[in-house]
Structure formats: C-alpha cells, structure tokens
Amino acid sequence: MKIKHLLFAGATSLLASNAHAADLEVEPVAIQTYDWQGVYGGGQFGFGWFEGRDNLGSPPENLASPVGGVHVGYNHMLGQFVLGIEGEANLANFSDTTSANLDVDINWMIAARLRAGYAFDRFLAFATTGVSFSEVTFEIPGTGISDSNTHTGFLFGGGVEGYVTEHISVRAEYQHHWFGNESYNVGAGAFDIEGDLDLLRAGVSYHF
C-alpha cells in the first residue's frame, strides 16, 4: 500500500513540475525585418579613374578625379530578393593635357541602372548594370578650338547597403563603365576615342 502511495506521489510531482516548466517557457523574440520596398533618394561621393585610348597608337591617357552626385530609385521586394531601378547624375573634374598637347576635360556623367539583390536583416547585397553617358571635350590650348562628344557606355558593378535608422541607409559600391568610340576633329587632327571608367564610392539614401 505504501508503494502505491509513493508511486502516486511521484507521478503527481512529475506532472506538476512539467506544468510549471511549461509556464516558464520564454516566448520567442521577434527579429526586426527591414523593408527595402519603395522610393528612395540620396547622394554619393567617391573617386574615379578614367583610361582613354585613341586609334592613333598614342599612349593611354589616365585621368583621376573625385566624383559626386545624387541618385533616386525604386525597389520592389519579392520575399528577400530585391529588384529595383536607379538613376544618378554626377559631377567630376577629369582634366589633363594629353601627349598630343590637347587639353581634355570630363565634367559630368549620368546613368540609368537596374539593381538586383538579396536582403538579410538590415543589409542588402546587390549587383547593378545599365547604361551611362559622359561628355568628353578636347581643346587646343589657348586657341578656343575644341570638339566635344557624349560617349555612351555600358556599366556593371555591385555593393552592400545597410540601414542605420528606420529610413536612412548607407552604401559602399564599385562600378566599371565601358565607353564606346566617338570621333573628334580638333584643328587639323581627326581621331577616335574610347575609354573605361572605374568608380569606388560611398552613398547615403533616405527611404520614403
């Protein structure tokens, strides 16, 4: 009889302890997710390196300049995947005298790009591609004789972006631009120019 009482008491105690443990279960903490969908705008600043080549066999012209501007875009989320479109406008000061004693200047660049990325926690890793346009001017020093063309380029790049507040994100990215041939006639000299532009920069965006 005592054994039955002991078994009953043990079973009762076990059930009570299990019920108490269930009461003490900690509710899972919800992880905050960041919404990348919608319109955003901001600015960017960095450094660029331009290499220009002609069809005359001259040494490549290597120019470097700070590059800064503004951007605006729109993101659409598909689960954790992000698809978007972005436009940007930049000012620069690529300026030098070429081996042919011509002044060359590149002062602006605009681009329209697609972005595709993967969002995790507060971060977005993305790749980008699109088209860009930049004006190049050659001038004979001291004469006012010059010729300008707008080069069309294809670009690709990528970077990482992350939220620092509910509406503000910062980014770091790299872009490479291939600019196609354009013809110039400065004085008695006619030549074709093509070039590549590499950009390293940081940016900040406000998400509406």
Q: How far is CA 29 from CA 26, 81, 91, in A?
A: 9, 24, 47
**Cβ contact 70:108 at 8 Å:** no
Mean pLDDT value across the chain: 88
The Cα 87–Cα 123 span in angstroms is 21
User: Structure tokens of 60?
Assistant: 């490549």
CA dist 109 and 134 (Å) reads 4
Torsion sign, CA atoms 121, 122, 125, 126? positive
CATH topology of domain 38-207: Porin (2.40.160)
Query: Does residue 152 carry a pLDDT above 70?
Result: yes
Strands of 55-188 (E only): list them.
Answer: 61-78, 81-97, 103-120, 123-139, 146-163, 168-186
pTM across the whole model:
0.81
H/E stretch holding 207 reads strand 189-207
Is 36 exposed, middle or buried (CB count within 10 Å of its CB: 0-12, 13-18, 19+)? buried
Mean pLDDT of 52-66: 93
- pLDDT for 193: 95
Each residue's pLDDT tens digit, 117-133: 999 999 999 999 999 99
Q: Is a pLDDT exceeding 90 seen at residue 99?
A: no
Please say whether the beta carbons of 174 and 159 come within 8 A. Answer: yes
pLDDT band at 13 (very low <50, low <70, confident <90, very high): low
Residue spans per domain, the chain: 38-207
